Amino acid sequence: VLATPGRDDDNDGMADEWEEKYGLNTSGNDGGLDPDNDGFTNYEEFILGFNPIIWNSGETGGSGGSVGEPGVEEKESDGVEIIESSDSGVTLELTTSDIQSKEKTYEEITYQVVTIPGYIHGQVSSVGKPQVPMKGVLLGVPSDSSISISVLDSEYTTLSGYNLYPVPQPEVKESESVKYLGETFVKDEATYHTDTFYPDKLAETGYTGLMRDQNVAQIKFYPVHFNPVTGEIRLYNKIRVRLDFASGGGASVRRVAWLPSLFTTPAWADSSPPSSYLDFSGPTYKLYLS
C-alpha cells in the first residue's frame, strides 16, 4: 500500500510529489476528480498505483461519473465542444486560450512545467520526452464500428523562451519503511537535440473498447507543441477534429447502474449515488468531459 510520505499540504490523502508529477492540484482537494474518465478517482489511482491521466482498463472502480441532462452540454471559454454529430460521426473542437508555467531546476538547468488553466487535463507519459499537456475526452460510440480521426482545422500562437521539463520516470521509493511514489529525472537527448516540434500530432484516438458494457473511444488532444532546439511553443488555440464511424448501426439507450466504490472511502467522498448517469445511444453521442 502506498502511503503519503509526510507531505500532503492539501490533506487529500495523496502525496504532493505524486500530484505534482501528474499536474494535479497540490493546494486543493482534488481526490474525488477523475480527469482521465476511467472510473477511478485520483485518490483511488494513487492507492492502486495507477496513472491518473491515462485510461486504466480491465477493472471497474470509483463511484461512476456524473453528466448533465441528456442533450445539454456546458460550454466554457476553454474546453471541448461538440460541433456536429450524426449517425456517421461527430465533430469536436478544443479551445485553449492560455498556458501557465512554473520553473523546475535539475543540475543547475532551469526548466518549465507547462499547464493549462482553462480546463482539467493530463500530461503526456512518454518518459524522457518534453512534458506537454494532453486533453482527453471519452466518447460513447456505436457498437461494431471502426473509428478514424482527421484534423479539420487548427490555429496556433507561437511563444518563445521555453525549456520544458522532461517526463520523469516514476518509481516507488522507500523511507523508514514507508513506500511512496517518487520520480527519477530522465531526458531523451535525441529528442531534445532535434529541431522539430513535439508531439508530431494534434489529436489521436486512445483507448477503444468497453466501459461497463458500453462501447467507448478515448480522444486525445495535444494543444501544446514544443521545439526543444528553438525553445518555441506552439499553443494551438483551436483544434477541430472529425471522428468517422465506418460501420455499425448504433445501440439503444442503456442506463448504467451505479456501482459503489470498491475502495475505502475517504471522509471527503460523496457516498450517495450520482444524480445522473453516463448513457450512450446510437446516433446521439454523449461526451464525458473532464
Domain ranges of the chain: 16-251+276-288
Task: Give mean pLDDT, residues 210-219.
Answer: 76
DSSP bridge pairs for 105: 110
Q: Distance between CA atoms of 52 and 24, rounded to whole angstroms?
A: 9
List, for residues 118-162, the tens digit of each pLDDT value: 988 888 989 999 999 999 888 888 877 888 999 999 999 999 999
Lowest mean per-residue pLDDT among 11-20, 41-50, 102-111, 158-167: 41-50
C-beta of residue 233 within 8 angstroms of C-beta of residue 96: no
Q: What is the mean pLDDT of residues 43-58?
A: 61
Distance CA 67, CA 70 (A): 8
Cell of 213: 458494457
Query: For a pLDDT cut of 70, what percent of the chain falls above it?
Result: 69
Highest mean pLDDT among 49-58, 143-152, 255-264: 143-152
Question: Does the pLDDT of residue 184 top 80, yes or no?
Answer: yes
Residue 207: pLDDT over 50 = yes
Using the predicted structure, report yes or no on whether residue 276 has a pLDDT greater than 80: no
Alpha-carbon distance 76 to 99, whole Å? 16
Which of 53-67, 135-149, 159-173, 208-222 bottoms out in mean pLDDT, i.e. has the lowest?
A: 53-67
pTM: 0.64
User: With bands split at pLDDT 50, 70 and 90, how would you rate the model's confidence at 21?
Assistant: confident
* pLDDT digits 0-9 by tens, 93-111: 999 999 999 999 999 999 9
CATH number, span 16-251+276-288:
2.60.40.3800
Say how far residue 263 (Cα) sits from the centre of its chain. 22
DSSP lists the bridge partners of residue 242 as 91, 150
